[in-house]
Chains A and B, each alone.
Chain A
Amino acid sequence: MVTTNTEIAYNSKIEGEVIVSRMDSIINWIRTNSMWPMPMGLACCAIELMGTASSRFDIARFGAEVMRFSPRQSDCMIVAGTVTYKMASAVRRIYDQMAEPKWVIAMGACASSGGMYRSYATLQGVDHIVPVDVYISGCPPRPEALLDALMKLQAKVRHERSATNLRRA
């Protein structure tokens, strides 16, 4: 069908500067595109995390460039590295300080499962102490893998029932 209408985008003159949408879409749109990470760099994965943040891979393209060691201002904890039992309590306390909503990425073999450290000193996966949303395989993972995990997390957040959860909270 051929139409003479060329107005295929939002036109403020027609719509009167009003957009109609669902709360879920708007909240999730806001959340997905400024996912500020809390870098929990504990071992060599943190080097790849730094690489991901730098110009070549540029995590800023996905709105997640604000890496500050500041749990109260962050949305997504990236656990990058080996979590020892001695460190586990600190990781959990930092997670507890993050404001809701919050997500966790377990980056690399160690954070996901203890990795090669089947030993008395290493927590066998950070999911023993914090709920993990996305696991990344690799030792260490390439920066592309971290970006992929971030996109996976964004896809997950996009489908959350945010408005319903807000009402319930």
Chain B
Amino acid sequence: MSATVDVLAVLKEKFPAATPRPSLDHPAVNLAAGDIPAALKFLRDEQGFDFLVDLTAVDWAEGVSPRFTVVYHLLSTGRHDYVRVATDCPSDEAPAVASVVSLWAGANWHEREVYDMFGINFTGHPDLRRILMWDGYPYHPLRKEFPLAGIDTPLPDAEIMAETGARVIAAPMAGGPFVASPGEINLTEAEPRAKDESWTERRAKPDA
């Protein structure tokens, strides 16, 4: 599906920092973080992109700068056009962009999720709390340096932790994640299995 208007050209006229972004499907554009609320308001009010489909983020790994990119997917319900807007967070240590809750109320929980998972602050958000992990959880799990298995931390409820002795543990991976890779094995007969079966929970992992 091709866009009926050249969003990039229109945006570039108003926001000179806009650059094209490689995309396999819909038009995509990079914007400066400072332009975000104004550019999205322009897209919503004057270009008809009235629906915020998704708001998410990318962590390009530690040491890469810019490290965090926030991505907005917009839909024009009138023209059935999509556009993807991305912006790099200026700071790698304390990433922050302006909140768009004032434009789309639905952005509220999306921004809370991005804050929870990536630790990106949305300035002007009315209620920026964690949404999936519990309050007081010390990490942001979708950051690249965070291991899938997790990190040993106390349980959210201190009373329950004292009574049961349970903790949030790093999950035993035993060569996982457990996947059935297409092509490698016959999927109709396959059980999901560990990528690396050279070690188990009983037998230690051999040194690399």
Contacts and interface: CB of A to CB of B under 8 A. Distances in A.
Interface in B150-208: 150-151, 155-157, 159-160, 163-164, 166, 168-173, 176-178, 192
Contact of A92 (B146, B151, B160, B192): B160
B163 A118 contact: no
B134 interface: yes
Interface of B: 132-134, 139, 141, 146-151, 155-157, 159-160, 163-164, 166, 168-173, 176-178, 192
Given A93-B160, A124-B171, A129-B164, A119 B150 contact: yes
Nearest to B135: A86
A130 B160 CA distance: 11
A88 B171 contact: no
Nearest to B192: A116
B168 A118 contact: no
A121 B172 contact: no
Interface string A115-147: 011111111100011100000000000000000
A121 B150 contact: yes
Query: Which applies to chain A's interface (DSSP): helix, strand, loop or mixed?
Result: loop
B202 to A, nearest CB: 15
A93 B164 CA distance: 11
Contacts of A93: 160
Interface in A52-101: 85-86, 88-89, 92-93
